[in-house]
Amino acid sequence: MDIGSKIKELRKENKLTQAELSLKANISRSYLADIERSRYNPSVDTLTNIAKGLGLTLSELVDVNANMQTLKQSKSYFIEQYLLTLGYEVVYDSEGNIILDTSNVQYEISELDIKDLQKSADSFIKFKLSEIMSKSRKISKKNENTPIAAHNDFSNDEEQQKLMQQDLDEL
C-alpha cells in the first residue's frame, strides 16, 4: 500500500476529515488530498506532522521494517540490473546458489559478494554526488509545512477545485 492510501485509511479509522487532519498537520487540505491520491510525495517533515496528527510516530506511519525489506530487495534488483547492463547476469539456481553468468563462463558467488557490490556502489555514488554537490549552486528549500494558497494544477477536476477554493477561503 502506498503512503497516500495508508494516510487516508488511518485518517478514516481515526474518524478525521481532511480538514481536521490538515489543520493538525499544518498543511493545506488540498495538499493532504493530493498526498492521499499519491499526486505528491510528502517530505519527511510533512510525514512527521501527519503522523503526529494521527497520534502515531513517523516509524509507525511508514512501517520502517517493511520499507527496509523493500529497500534491500530493490537494492539487490538494482545491482542485478546494473550487472546485466555490463554483460553479467545473476542467476539463482534450484539449489539456492548464486551464479554470475558471463558470456564465456559461470561463477558461483555468495550473497556476501552481492552485498559487497551494493556497498561499493553506494559508496561510489555518494562520493560522486559529494563531488557534484561541492561544485554546484545551492538552492534553499521552502518550508513545505506552511499553509499556502492552493494552486490550480488540476483545473478540470471539480473536487480538486472545491478543495482549493476552501483553502483559499481559509486564508
Region 143-157: mean pLDDT is 58
CATH of the domain at 50: 1.10.260.40
Q: What is the span of the domain harbouring residue 7?
A: 3-63+156-170
Give yes or no: residues 73 and 97 share one domain. Answer: yes
Whether the pLDDT of residue 63 is over 60: the answer is yes
Number of domains in the chain: 2
Q: Is residue 147 part of a domain?
A: no
Residue 109 vs residue 69, higher pLDDT: 109
Are 46 and 54 spatial neighbours (Cβ–Cβ below 8 Å)? no
The model scores a pTM over 0.95: no
Could you tell me the pLDDT band of residue 158, with boundaries at 50, 70 and 90? confident
In a domain, 141, yes or no: no
- Are residues 34 and 85 located together in one domain of the fold? no
What is the chain written as a DSSP string? --HHHHHHHHHHHTT--HHHHHHHHTS-HHHHHHHHTTSSPPPHHHHHHHHHHTT--HHHHHTHHHHHHHHHHHHHHHHHHHHHHTT-EEEE-TTS-EEEE-SS-EEEE-HHHHHHHHHHHHHHHHHHHHHHHHTS---PPP-TTS------S-TT-HHHHHHHHHHHHH-
pLDDT in tens, 16-56: 999 999 999 999 999 999 999 988 888 889 999 999 999 98
Residues 59, 18 within the same domain:
yes
